[in-house]
Amino acid sequence: MNGYAVVDVEATGRSPWRHRVVEVAVVQLDAALRTERVFATLLDPAGPVGPTHVHRIAQEDVVGAPRFRQIAPWLLELLADRVLVGHHVTCDRAFLEREFARIGVVLPVLPAVCTMRLARRLMPQAGGFGLSACVEAAGLGWFPAHTALGDARATVELLRHCLRLGSPMDELVPEAGRAAAVPWPRLAAARSARAPGSVPLLRRWAPLGPWPAGAEGSRPLVGAAGYE
């Protein structure tokens, strides 16, 4: 097992079958939960961006952003041989599975950790079990909710917090050893992405807190670097 891939997606709606991913982030962690690599970008959903009042992505923000097919080879690389982690991870996985299916790729089933389930078991005092409520109950500070990178980074901190509460990692991820045994698909770069630097990655500003009470962050894009 090579570690963990903490994922979050923002979408144009609630249905993986009818709606599209408009932003995706992956934070790779090693087996000791140390950050290895960070990837995030807005995506052009080839249609309306959906509920801007929720994810704060405006239609003009995705102009020039890559299509899912263009970044799919990178996503496969980031997820390979990893345990998938997310807050309500079945939702994020469903959207990724459908996006890959649209380009003819079957995303294998990976062992997964859901921080929402962990919080229900380890933080029963939380007022709710959405990501914001869990982060607040854990005292982890403000984060830019409903940005893919902000949510992914907050999920990383929540996972680490659950580990500090005393649950050993082999208890949190009893099937982690299966990740390396999953046969993994490979995907060549899209024709539009074969030239160096030809894929325009667009990342939203999404630092972690703590921030002043009532702060909501901002929508501006900050360059084209999708990786850290």
pTM: 0.86
At 94 the pLDDT is: 97
Low-confidence ranges of the chain (pLDDT < 50): 196, 211-227
Cβ distance 29 to 4 under 8 Å?
Answer: yes
Q: What is the pLDDT of residue 216?
A: 46
Helices 115-122 and 148-164: crossing angle in degrees, nearest 10, is 40
- Neighbouring residues of 167: CB distance < 8 A, sequence distance ≥ 6: 118, 122
In this prediction, residue 172 carries a pLDDT of 61
Which domains, ranges and CATH numbers included, belong to the chain? 4-184 (3.30.420.10)
CA dist list (Å): 130 to 5, 114, 183, 196: 20, 12, 33, 40
What pLDDT shows up at residue 168? Answer: 64
At 215 the pLDDT is: 45
How many other C-beta atoms are found inside a 10 Å radius of the C-beta of residue 129? Answer: 18
Residue 167 has a pLDDT of 63
Angle at 165 between CA 164 and CA 167, to 5 degrees: 90
Q: How far apart are CA 20 and CA 83, in angstroms?
A: 24
**pLDDT tens digits for range 186-210:** 887 776 555 545 677 888 876 555 5
